[in-house]
A and B are shown apart, each in its own frame.
Chain A
């Protein structure tokens, strides 16, 4: 399935120009009081949903910008940003 992404600077481009940066897991947990299990979950565990998820991507062959997009993992298409994720 071909993937096209909208770079916020360069516009729509082929997915081959981008590097996947993993799921967007939100802000880094506070170090004070953090448990090993919490860090393990933040660093290594993914939701891996079949559906829409928010992800980090880098336009590595273009402007080099890191940005977030929402992608439907079932259709492999970018979808409008979903704020409730």
Chain B
């Protein structure tokens, strides 16, 4: 019998092929693109694990020892996991950096890694790019980072997390929506960011940005 290997494919299609890739957990992950430079960058993070939590008692759940944020709109980032509170009964958690965590157990959890896509937009002013394709207002009211907004981006229902500033004055937004919109979402964002020089970047650039942000926050 033929020995088959499972292949999981990111739904995001960038206009250029990556220069360096790696295999990780049945995914082909783009590590580096040519001409990444200093950004701004659009990074495909769809291969990261993503979980959805739904419960009337979210405050009793502590996945990875992390308490789920108390109020809708609030986020918590620790150990490479970003947890966002969406409403009274729902929260989401994304693995965006570092070693993959174990899957949380319990009936309140659904693995949505293959159902949704995740893009990171890193730029000095990423909201200036995103506001070309959405009416979401990231400036008012002012909120402490990180925070999540939910609404249409390019007419697609999305969750957008503002991670805040990194070490070098750049900021990062994470854009999450259903898998089927991924190709067109990446196309729309690259077109919106064309005048700012937005280009595809790989996971190495993203990991470097996150590590610098964490060091900067700890200092």
Measuring CB to CB, which residues of chain A are less than 8 angstroms from any residue of chain B? 9-11, 13-14, 16-17, 59-65
Q: Could you say which of B86, B135, B141 contacts A64, with CB atoms under 8 Å apart?
A: B86
Contact A64 B152, CB 8 Å, known A9-B72, A9-B73, A14-B135 = no
A-B residue pairs in contact (CB < 8 Å), sample of 30? A9-B72, A9-B73, A9-B87, A10-B73, A10-B149, A10-B151, A11-B141, A13-B151, A14-B135, A16-B152, A17-B151, A17-B152, A59-B150, A60-B157, A61-B151, A61-B152, A61-B157, A62-B150, A62-B151, A62-B157, A63-B72, A63-B86, A63-B87, A63-B150, A64-B86, A64-B87, A64-B90, A64-B150, A65-B87, A65-B88
Residues on B with C-beta less than 8 A from A61 are: 151-152, 157
Task: Using CB atoms, name the residue of chain B closest to A64.
Answer: B87
In the complex, how many residue pairs between chain A and chain B have their CB atoms under 8 Å apart? 31
- Whole-angstrom distance between the alpha carbons of A14 and B152 in the complex? 10
A62 to B152 alpha-carbon distance, docked (Å): 7
Task: Output the least CB separation between B66 and chain A (Å).
Answer: 21
Closest 3 CB pairs of A and B: A62-B150, A61-B157, A9-B72
- A65: B residues at CB distance < 8 A: 87-88
CB distance from B53 to the nearest CB of A (A): 14
Closest chain A residue, CB of each to CB of B90: A64
Q: A9 CA to B157 CA in the complex, in Å?
A: 16
Q: How far is the CB of B202 from chain A (nearest CB, A)?
A: 31
Cβ of B87: which chain A residues have Cβ within 8 Å of it? 9, 63-65
Chain A residues with CB under 8 Å of B88's CB are 65
Complex Cα distance, B149 from A17, in Å, reads 13
CB 8 Å contact bits of B47-88 with A (1 = contact, 0 = none): 000000000000000000000000011000000000000111
The residue of chain B having its C-beta at the shortest distance from the C-beta of A61 within the complex is B157
